[in-house]
Amino acid sequence: MPAEWVDFKSVMAKVSMETVLSHYDVRLRRVGADEFRGKCPLPTHSSARSNDSFSVSFTRNVWSCRSASCIAARSGRVGGNVVGFVAEMERCSIQEAARRLDRSLTENLLPRATPGSKEPVPYASENRPLSFTLRNIDHQHSYVISRGLSAETARYFGVGYYDGNGFLRGRVVIPIHNEYGKLVAYSGRSIDEAEPKYRLPAGFRKSHVLFNLHRAIQSRGDTVILVEGFFDTFKTHQAGHHNVAALMGSKLSDRQAELIGTYFDQVILMLDADKAGKAATAAAGKTLSSVLSVQIVELASGTQPDQLASEEIHQLLGGLDHGVPTPDR
């Protein structure tokens, strides 16, 4: 247990890049709808030539510096969130930066953001953690097996058939967590052709989370593999690639882009190879390439990751530079 507990989430929600930049007297100019650029203020920046390598998105509350020597001096990290920025400026650990920011907030050391500036993401829009968990889930139900999941994978993700009461009765339930690992919803997949295919609780905002993000973060790489659905995630994980997260659809939301930019330096898009998936790959690639490096996995036309065998997934991802996959636990 750390001696002084700091709530990263509340620090990041309360402190904007705008506030921190003004604290360090960093001036940037607008170059796009949500992109500001200028001279890099970091102590790791040594190149005199790159006068415009530092870039900030105030909407996503993230920064990056594209100078190769600056990136190398930061152990290969291209950018990060507001806490990471303070850690670089102060040359301290992330934990210490969060502690300092937290202290600054309570002691009003940081200047307030200028009036009319972007508000941080409001708490009201967050999905609240659930106060219950479902019990008696059958991880070895025939539907789960028919989708190619091993009992180990099903148990790991908590996926299985639910025979209890309520709107998920008679469906295969999938627990969804926020980036801090807090359970925020269950999705229920029909096991026959019953519509809707997936049920989610009323009011749940799936565009505000990425499925499996908390585990992808824990895999401690700088790269995330982004897929569309739950079963794509399960199969990719089962193939030995644990740094996988899902959009729960084909559209990348602003909040999801922000989450990816906050936790990773690189993203591998492995969306479905149908019309919607290809359009989504193009759109997501465009959005994400402004904050981190993007690689695209091309599946055979008409296929999607959940239909592939472990070896096929491994082959598709194997050639890409995203570190050695962690062994199955």
Residues interacting with Zn ion, by CB under 5 A? Answer: 40, 42, 45, 65, 67, 70
Between residues 42 and 246, which has the closer beta carbon with respect to Zn ion?
Answer: 42
Nearest approach, Cβ of residue 84 and Zn ion (Å): 13
Between residues 67 and 81, which has the closer beta carbon with respect to Zn ion?
Answer: 67
Between residues 87 and 269, which has the closer beta carbon with respect to Zn ion?
Answer: 87
Between residues 79 and 305, which has the closer beta carbon with respect to Zn ion?
Answer: 79
**HSE of 45, CA atoms in CB hemisphere, 13 A:** 21
Nearest approach, Cβ of residue 83 and Zn ion (Å): 17
Question: 60-65, long-range: CB within 8 Å, 24+ apart, which pairs?
Answer: 60/34, 60/254, 60/257, 60/258, 60/261, 60/262, 60/291, 61/12, 61/16, 61/17, 61/120, 61/258, 61/262, 62/17, 62/258, 62/261, 62/262, 62/291, 63/17, 64/291, 64/292, 65/40
Q: Which amino acid is at 308?
A: L
Nearest approach, Cβ of residue 294 and Zn ion (Å): 21
Neighbouring CB atoms inside 10 A of 244's CB total 28
Let me know the angle formed at the C-alpha of 224 by 16 and 171, rounded to the nearest 5 degrees.
Answer: 100
Between residues 144 and 291, which has the closer beta carbon with respect to Zn ion?
Answer: 291
Nearest approach, Cβ of residue 69 and Zn ion (Å): 8
Nearest approach, Cβ of residue 44 and Zn ion (Å): 6
Distance CA 88, CA 84 (A): 6
